């Protein structure tokens, strides 16, 4: 008995002398190996965000779409994201959208309702402001109809007022917002043509700052994201953040958010130029870029959109697990969010959902 007590005391002593982290890491690695042998997936880092944008969910529910867990029991979609290992929900918001279930909804009322559902499950929350009445992306950044003829000063007020109105409505329900996107895939700015970065970089910076200031006024600790597509092509995000820095708006955001759809790399010219032909290449590029941007810009980095060909779910799982492994220990890496994974049977023509044809989750967050 005395020998056991002495051994325990020695263990406590040495753990207090700096080896504790190493011992814990060794234990985790052993447990991970066992979990992989059992066919399961290890838990991802609690501090990082893993989850999904499921903004379509209310439209899908309205259309009669059902979702099921692995046992075939009908299950709430938000709960399924949590069962997949997710801890975060991302929701887009449009200014004055139509009521169309595919290309509308996502207004303030809809976003508040979904925010409450996420919060009820203890999920973290990101709000993605498009500053449009419908889709904003690299190919289009259309102003809301109500803002169409507004001057730059009016647009700055529009952005601030809309951001404030939506976030205050969410906050009034007792829901916290951890991240806010100021614009969606703003490869060349937003609210064209006034806020097009290639021709009016100062305007884009001013609009970004207006949205960021408004978000921080409602949620002082919120992390503001600038979101750019093609996160594997380092020059695409770097160009936009360099423009913001040149215009004195480097402090307007906290996180460089990127989109990453590895199964579509074959159709990308920039991927060919960078010799990125496989998802393995793409994952390496994402990890490398993240490390470089954290150091170069002193910003956090996050994959805010991830999707994969729905007919290759096994490959999608391999890619996602590998991406988690490669980014898990990168200081300043915020996490990975899927984009509309609940889509199945090519709902609304979207073929990069990550559920099976039976409406069950087809992948899960598995990594180190």
- Catalytic positions, written as ranges: 185, 305
Distances 269 to 189, 229, 230, 279, 282 between C-alpha atoms, Å: 21, 14, 11, 15, 14
- Shortest CA distance to 147 belongs to which of 186, 77, 94, 84? 94
Contact 50, 336 (CB under 8 A): yes
How is residue 332 annotated by DSSP? T
Using the structure block, give the residue that is written with the tokens 């979207």. 350
Phi, psi angles (nearest 5°) of residue 147: -105, 5
100: Cβ–Cβ under 8 A, 6 or more apart, which residues?
Answer: 59
Instruction: Report d(CA 47, CA 88) in Å as an integer.
Output: 11
Contact 184, 137 (CB under 8 A): yes
The H or E element that residue 124 is part of is strand 124-129
Handedness of CA 360, 287, 334, 239 (dihedral sign): negative
């Amino acid at each position: 008995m005395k020998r056991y007590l002495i051994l325990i005391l020695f263990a406590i002593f040495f753990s207090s002398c700096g080896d504790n982290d190493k011992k814990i890491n060794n234990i985790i690695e052993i447990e991970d190996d066992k979990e992989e042998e059992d066919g399961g997936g290890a838990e991802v880092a609690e501090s990082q965000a893993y989850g999904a944008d499921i903004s379509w969910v209310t439209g899908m529910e309205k259309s009669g779409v059902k979702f099921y867990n692995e046992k075939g029991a009908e299950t709430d979609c938000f709960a399924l994201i949590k069962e997949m290992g997710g801890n975060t929900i991302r929701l887009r918001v449009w200014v004055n959208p139509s009521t169309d279930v595919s290309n509308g909804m996502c207004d303030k009322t809809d976003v508040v309702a979904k925010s409450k559902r996420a919060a009820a499950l203890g999920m973290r929350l990101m709000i993605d402001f498009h500053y449009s009445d419908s889709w904003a992306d690299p190919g289009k950044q259309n102003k809301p109809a109500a803002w169409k003829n507004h001057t730059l000063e009016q647009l700055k007020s529009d952005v601030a007022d809309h951001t404030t109105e939506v976030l205050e409505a969410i906050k009034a329900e007792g829901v916290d917002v951890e991240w806010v996107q100021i614009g969606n895939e703003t490869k060349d700015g937003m609210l064209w043509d006034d806020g097009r970065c290639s021709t009016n970089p100062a305007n884009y910076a001013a609009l970004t700052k207006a949205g960021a200031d408004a978000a921080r006024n409602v949620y002082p600790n919120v992390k503001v994201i600038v979101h750019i597509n093609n996160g594997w092509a380092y020059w695409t995000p770097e160009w936009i953040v360099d423009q913001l820095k040149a215009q004195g708006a480097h402090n307007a955001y906290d996180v460089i958010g990127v989109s990453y759809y590895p199964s579509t790399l074959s159709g990308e010219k920039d991927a060919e130029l960078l010799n990125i032909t496989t998802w393995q290449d793409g994952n390496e590029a994402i990890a490398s870029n993240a490390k470089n941007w954290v150091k170069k810009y002193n910003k956090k980095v996050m994959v805010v959109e991830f999707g994969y060909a729905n007919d290759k779910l096994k490959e999608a799982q391999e890619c996602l697990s590998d991406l988690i492994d490669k980014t898990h220990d990168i200081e300043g890496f915020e996490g990975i969010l899927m984009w509309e994974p609940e889509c199945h049977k090519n709902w609304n023509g979207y073929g990069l959902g990550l559920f099976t044809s039976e409406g069950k989750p087809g992948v899960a967050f598995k990594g180190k």
